[in-house]
Structure 1
């Protein structure tokens, strides 16, 4: 049986919120992927939903749908008790603007070029004897797998309303060399991609890591240069 309730909290950045109903004991968690509309929900919106319980984590709402024009109807009826509220027309899905798609493609190819440059620096360092081969590649693989896993874990924690992994920890892993794994995790899980401050800090760690790696490679050349 479908239940009715009101959205009492919505976190647009993390994509989840809570619903409160007259016949529910606790507020009910729901995620954006369980919301049936193209537009994001807003606090105070009336909704209908199916309630489930999963493994002692509390109630969860599925197939969340807005009660048509609940907010607009309340405002209109306050102004005019005889107002007639018509059903809201469904909004067609928005297509990605051409300029945005082009920018995303440029970012994709730019990031791939950075990864190739990054791998090239490590290979040059190994060839020059600056880094041991097996320990370096083993450490890089493990570091990026750990980074990818922690992004996945943080995404799940955000959806379930559990304890989050700090952004400083994620940035620290990227700075140490886990930034490729972080980039792939952001795209696979659609996590942290819309938060401008996080993205700015992330790309700053990428730049610092590449500059530090490049400086480590060329530093012996400056030390061995004859003094004028």
Structure 2
């Protein structure tokens, strides 16, 4: 059990004194060696936190002592901010699904994104396993190509859930470049040229 009390009769030259617990009770002997990670030498009147043990002679001694002033307030856990990458993926997925359901785009476009995202996730998983076990790695150019042709949503969730390639700055820069290029291509599909292209592909 931990107590809080006031340091009294402190003899700094000899490094000992006593502590009177707040609220009353048995006072305890305090030695400077019982202090843990103190920022300065104790002084008369300091508030301290300590544990109390009873010595064979019947007297009490303070152990595991710390200055109240040294106790750090626990920082509040950082608030989770919205992940802009996740927001982009979710927003794009909703728009993609809506445009297919409303028949602005053929379902084959949705199938392409699902297929390439699935393949991208699998490639990321294989690459992480290869990195751990010293096997042949998947070239980064292959991962970027999958993102470029529509697998970037799956690649994004692979990076987050597998924690793979998520902290490599250069890789992330190229990845987001492929995302932007793919989104531009997606928007282009709604133009006259884009519609003609789709008709030529899916018939």
Q: TM-score, normalised by structure 2?
A: 0.51
Computing the radius of gyration from Cα coordinates, the structure with the larger value is 2
CA RMSD of aligned residues (A): 2.9
Partner of 1:66 in structure 2?
A: none
The question of 1:147 aligning with 2:120 is answered yes
- Three-state SS of the structure 1 residue aligned to 2:190 is helix
| Structure 2 match to 1:205 | 178
1:113 to 91, 97, 109: 91
1:215 aligns with 2:167: no
Q: After TM superposition, where is structure 1 displaced by more than 4 Å over at least 4 residues in a row?
A: 121-124, 220-223
In 1, the alpha carbon distance for the partners of 2:163 and 2:172 equals: 13
Q: Which runs of 5+ in 2 are unaligned?
A: 1-74, 197-203
2:7 corresponds to: none
Q: Structure 1 unaligned runs (5+)?
A: 1-94, 224-228
Residues 7-56 of structure 1, C-alpha deviations (whole Å, 9 max, x = no match): xxxxxxxxxxxxxxxxxxxxxxxxxxxxxxxxxxxxxxxxxxxxxxxxxx
Distance 2:83 2:78 in 1: 11
Q: Distance in 2 between matches of 1:205 and 1:215?
A: 15
| Residue correspondence of structure 1 range 54-93 to structure 2 within 5 A | none
Aligned partners of 1:165, 1:118: CA distance in 2, in Å? 29
Alpha-carbon distance in 2 for matches of 1:210, 1:112: 13
Query: Which residue does 1:160 correspond to in 2?
Result: 133
8 Å contact from structure 2 (residues 152, 179) kept in 1: yes
Cα distance change on mapping 1:221 and 1:146 into 2, 3 Å: closer
Q: Give the number of equivalent residue pairs.
A: 122
